[in-house]
């Protein structure tokens, strides 16, 4: 929505520097190019012809859909190493945007050839992830959703207690089916009860793993 262009380097440093680079980038069937996307920039749009698939080298991406009145649902965040952009037919069914400055490996769909076992299993993992997120959206309370979100992020970042959250509160709300106010209130409550700490706005630290896990049932 907002078109930054000059800030990209600092955002890049934040999401890439520090700790982390634990996640491997194995998927690599062909020589491919790497493109940089500035924070907030569009990678593809709903309805657009799906010519490429993408792998995050570093940064973060949101996949989302919009209702006519502007309500937004983020169906997934993609972090380093993850693949996105595969579609069931010729066109994209969702929007994809870079959250922070993001480097993407671009694989032309035409050059993929036969479906590798690896690509298939990445797709199945996405499916499982989406189906599990359905449980969160359909049946969990606000507190449970945020807890599940934090644990999921932690796990995807190597299981450390320090979590990077490249996305805004609005992104988190649109992912969890909540408003920013509710997300914020839950964060505050978790902080007050000592379950997490919030060193900065875009990072969290899990202090009581069992308490957080217990919240998801």
**Which of DNA, its own copies, none binds 132 (CB below 5-8 Å, type-dependent)?**
its own copies
Site string for its own copies, 117-136 (x = CB under 8 A): x--xx-xxxxxx-xxxxxx-
142-156 and 180-192 helices, crossing angle to 10°: 80
Q: Which residue among 8, 100, 140, 157 contacts its own copies (CB under 8 A)?
A: 140
Cα separation, 11 vs 39, in Å, equals 8
Q: Pick from DNA, its own copies, none: which does 127 bind, CB < 5 to 8 A by kind?
A: its own copies
Among 7, 18, 71, 158, binds its own copies (CB under 8 A): 71
Q: Which stretch, 11-19, 20-28, 159-167, 169-177, contacts its own copies (CB under 8 A)? A: 169-177
Q: Could you tell me the two tokens for 205?
A: 């630290």
When CB distances are held under 5 to 8 angstroms depending on the partner's kind, the choice from DNA, its own copies, none that residue 198 binds is DNA
Residue (53 or 172) nearer to DNA, CB: 172
**SS3 call for 168:** coil
Whole-number Å distance between alpha carbons of 57 and 64: 20
Our finding on whether 183 is near DNA (CB under 7 A) is yes
Residue 104 binds DNA, judged by CB under 7 A:
no
Of the pair 58, 175, the CB lying nearest its own copies is at 175
Find the binder of its own copies among 43, 83, 167, 176 (CB under 8 A).
Answer: 176
Strands (E), the chain: 33-37, 42-44, 52-58, 61-66, 72-78, 83-84, 95-98, 102-108, 162-164, 196-200, 203-206
**What is d(CA 80, CA 119) in angstroms, rounded to the nearest whole number?**
16
Which residues are CB-neighbours of 115 under 8 A, at least 6 positions away? none
Q: For DNA, which stretch binds (CB under 7 A), given 23-31, 90-98, 140-148, 207-215? A: 140-148
Q: 36-59 as b/e, with b when 16 or more CB fall inside 10 Å? A: ebbbbbebbeeeeebebbbbbbbb
Q: Which CB sits closer to DNA, 13 or 28?
A: 13
Q: Tell me how far apart the alpha carbons of residues 119 and 122 are, in angstroms, rounded to a whole number.
A: 5
DSSP 3-state assignment of 106?
A: strand
Q: Does 193 help bind DNA (rule: CB under 7 A)?
A: no
> Segment 77-116, which members bind its own copies (CB under 8 A)?
86-88, 93-94, 114-115
Cα–Cα nearest to 209, from 166, 165, 160:
160
Decide: is 131 part of the binding site for DNA (CB under 7 A). no
Residue ranges in contact with DNA by CB under 7 A: 2, 6-7, 10, 141-143, 168-170, 177-185, 187-188, 198, 200-202
């Amino acid at each position: 929505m907002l078109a930054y262009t000059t800030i990209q380097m600092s955002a890049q440093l934040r999401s890439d520097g520090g700790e982390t680079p634990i996640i491997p980038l194995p998927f690599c069937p062909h020589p491919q190019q790497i493109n940089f996307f500035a924070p907030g920039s569009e990678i593809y749009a709903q309805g657009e012809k799906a010519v490429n698939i993408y792998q995050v080298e570093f940064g973060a991406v949101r996949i989302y859909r919009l209702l006519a009145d502007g309500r937004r649902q983020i169906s997934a965040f993609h972090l380093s190493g993850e693949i996105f952009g595969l579609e069931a037919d010729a066109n994209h069914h969702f929007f994809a945007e870079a959250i922070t400055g993001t480097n993407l490996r671009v694989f032309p769909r035409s050059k993929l050839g036969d479906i590798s076992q690896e690509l298939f299993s990445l797709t199945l993992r996405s499916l499982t992830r989406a189906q599990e997120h359905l449980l969160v959206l359909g049946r969990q309370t606000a507190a449970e959703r945020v807890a599940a979100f934090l644990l999921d992020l932690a796990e995807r970042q190597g299981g450390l207690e320090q979590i990077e959250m490249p996305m805004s509160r609005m992104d988190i709300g649109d992912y969890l089916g909540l408003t920013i106010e509710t997300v914020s209130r839950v964060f505050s409550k978790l902080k007050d009860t000592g379950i997490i700490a919030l060193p900065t706005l875009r990072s969290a630290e899990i202090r009581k793993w069992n308490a957080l896990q217990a919240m998801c049932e």
